[in-house]
């Protein structure tokens, strides 16, 4: 199917999306870029934020993850809530941040009070920092641990200060793939159900996709379709972020020895823009695993957001990959040098400062 024909479809089906994945890369890029410019002009956004990984102990043991540790591993760690707050305040004092992305492993000793204390204290000490926290996996875990419904868990977290939820754990929303790469992780329907509950409560979230391991192109298309389907019902996804699997030191690396290249990312970003259009208006370039240069290219293939400064992120360095430190000035200068109008945004993708 030609791209122009695809754009005539009111509601693409998974097989239409699969066909779009096969289109010529440059044609995809040009169509996605034209649509992005219609929606966002020449503005490219980013956020000054940090990632706070509260523990690396995790019982889910996904085969693609090089970050998790078992309880007795010498380098296992857990932050006490007050030490966590101190860390967030320290990073804020150095860099000035608008958002903290809170994520960690599934450690059965951590209950909902841990997060209530952490979020409330961050809000008390630094109300200007938005809390973008946890993922459907963590919400599902808390709901089972505390014997509460998803709604009750989300409500308590929100009352404590959680502003929005990232899309972690989405990987590929097809159970065949999930069983293979993360047999102990929540299944597709649970991920979507928690997201739907959050949206119904007015908690905005992001959707993610991690590709480049054991999935087929048709399963990537299915993933995008499931996200679109939910978005049409709730409108709660603020952004879509795709990234390639980084084999590094993970268990899965033996089966996927060569990481996907920039071409896969550009294709995923362009397809996402052409499928989601203005329904999910923000498509992130995601420099963390894709690399800064690829993320720059992605801004010409349909992405409008460069993502965050991501101070203190630990998951990717655990794979052995080196991460540059990007300050807000570095990102603004880089976006300007690419011909974009750099704009700093807040947690809700509202522009707060033009450079
Ligand atoms: S990806 Fe998340 S859930 Fe899976 S092992 Fe790593 S920390 Fe645990």
**Does residue 60 have its Cβ closer than 6 Å to ligand 1?**
yes
Cα distance between residue 262 and residue 180, in whole Å: 24
Paired sense of beta strands 282-284 and 237-244, if any: parallel
Provide DSSP, 150-168: HHHHHHHHHHHT--BB--T
Ramachandran bin of 146, using left for φ above 0, alpha for ψ from -120 to 50, beta for the remaining angles: alpha
Ramachandran bin of 312, using left for φ above 0, alpha for ψ from -120 to 50, beta for the remaining angles: left
Instruction: Pick the residue whose CA is nearest to atom 2 on ligand 1.
Output: 105
- Residue whose C-alpha is closest to residue 59's, from 70, 49, 48: 70
Percent of residues, the chain, with pLDDT higher than 90: 84
Q: Residues 267, 272, 277, 281: is their CA dihedral positive or negative?
A: negative
Lowest mean pLDDT among 198-212, 278-292, 303-317: 303-317
Look at residue 106 and give its three-state secondary structure.
coil
Six-digit token string for 310: 């991501």
Six-digit token string for 17: 């999306």
| 248, pLDDT greater than 80 | no
- Residue whose C-alpha is closest to residue 206's, from 293, 111, 282: 282
| 5, pLDDT greater than 80 | yes
Cα distance between residue 64 and residue 210, in whole Å: 10
Could you list the beta-strand ranges (E) of 236-295. 237-244, 282-284
Instruction: Pick the residue whose CA is nearest to atom 1 on ligand 1.
Output: 65
pLDDT computed for residue 325 by the predictor: 78
Distance of CA 57 to the CA centre of its chain: 20
**Does residue 76 have its Cβ closer than 6 Å to ligand 1?**
no
For residues 53-86, b (16+ Cβ closer than 10 Å) or e, as one string?
bbbbbbebebbbbbbbbeeeeeebebbebeebbe
Partners of 164 in the beta sheet?
132
Q: What fold characterizes domain 10-347?
A: TIM Barrel (3.20.20)
Residue range 232-253: average pLDDT? 90
Question: Which of the listed residues 53, 59, 62 should we mutate to test ligand 1's pocket, taking the one with most ligand atoms within 8 A of CB?
Answer: 62
- Residue whose C-alpha is closest to residue 291's, from 313, 258, 318, 324: 324
**Does residue 107 have its Cβ closer than 6 Å to ligand 1?**
no
- Describe the crossing of helices 136-146 and 150-160 by its angle, rounded to 10 degrees: 110
The model's pLDDT over 90-142, given as tens digits with 9 standing for 90+, comes to 999 989 999 999 999 999 999 999 999 999 999 999 999 999 999 999 999 99
pLDDT computed for residue 290 by the predictor: 81
| 8 A C-beta contact, residue 152 and residue 203 | no
Look at residue 204 and give its three-state secondary structure.
coil
| 8 A C-beta contact, residue 164 and residue 205 | yes
Six-digit token string for 140: 């599902």
- Residue whose C-alpha is closest to residue 235's, from 194, 202, 209: 202
Percent of residues, the chain, with pLDDT higher than 70: 97
Six-digit token string for 318: 């655990």
Instruction: Tell me how far the alpha carbon of residue 77 lies from the centroid of ligand 1, in angstroms.
Output: 14
Instruction: Tell me how far the alpha carbon of residue 246 lies from the centroid of ligand 1, in angstroms.
Output: 14
Instruction: Tell me how far the alpha carbon of residue 239 lies from the centroid of ligand 1, in angstroms.
Output: 22
The model's pLDDT over 153-205, given as tens digits with 9 standing for 90+, comes to 999 999 999 999 999 999 999 999 999 999 999 999 999 999 999 999 999 99
The model's pLDDT over 32-52, given as tens digits with 9 standing for 90+, comes to 999 999 999 999 999 999 999
Instruction: Tell me how far the alpha carbon of residue 24 lies from the centroid of ligand 1, in angstroms.
Output: 35
**Does residue 57 have its Cβ closer than 6 Å to ligand 1?**
no
């Amino acid at each position: 199917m030609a791209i122009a024909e695809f754009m005539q479809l009111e509601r693409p089906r998974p097989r239409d999306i699969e066909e779009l994945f096969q289109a010529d890369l440059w044609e995809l890029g040009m169509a996605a870029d034209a649509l992005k410019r219609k929606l966002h002009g020449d503005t490219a956004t980013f956020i000054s934020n940090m990632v706070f990984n509260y523990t690396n102990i995790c019982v889910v043991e996904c085969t693609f993850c090089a970050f998790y540790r078992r309880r007795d591993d010498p380098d296992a760690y857990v932050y006490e809530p007050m030490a966590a707050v101190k860390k967030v305040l320290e990073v804020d004092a150095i860099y000035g941040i608008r958002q903290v992305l809170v994520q960690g492993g599934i450690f059965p000793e951590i209950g909902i009070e841990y997060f209530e204390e952490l979020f409330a204290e961050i809000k008390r000490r630094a109300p200007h920092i938005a809390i973008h926290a946890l993922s459907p996996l963590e919400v599902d875990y808390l709901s089972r641990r505390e014997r509460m419904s998803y709604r009750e868990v989300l409500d308590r977290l929100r009352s404590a200060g959680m502003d929005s939820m990232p899309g972690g754990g989405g990987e590929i929303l097809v159970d065949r793939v999930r069983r293979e790469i993360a047999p102990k992780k929540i299944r597709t329907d649970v991920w979507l159900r928690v997201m739907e509950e959050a949206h119904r409560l007015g908690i905005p979230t992001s959707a993610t996709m991690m590709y480049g391991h054991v999935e087929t192109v048709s399963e990537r298309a299915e993933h995008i379709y499931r996200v679109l389907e939910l978005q049409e019902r709730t409108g709660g996804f603020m952004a879509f972020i795709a990234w390639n699997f980084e084999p590094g030191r993970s268990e899965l690396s033996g089966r996927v020895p060569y990481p996907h290249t920039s071409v896969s990312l550009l294709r995923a970003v362009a397809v996402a823009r052409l499928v989601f259009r203005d329904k999910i208006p923000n498509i992130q370039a995601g420099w963390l695993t894709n690399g800064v240069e690829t993320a720059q290219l992605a801004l010409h293939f349909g992405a409008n957001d460069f993502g965050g400064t991501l101070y203190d992120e630990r998951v990717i360095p655990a794979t052995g990959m080196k991460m540059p430190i990007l300050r807000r000035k570095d990102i603004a200068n880089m976006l300007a040098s690419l011909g974009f109008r750099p704009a700093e945004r807040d947690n809700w993708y509202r522009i707060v400062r033009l450079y």
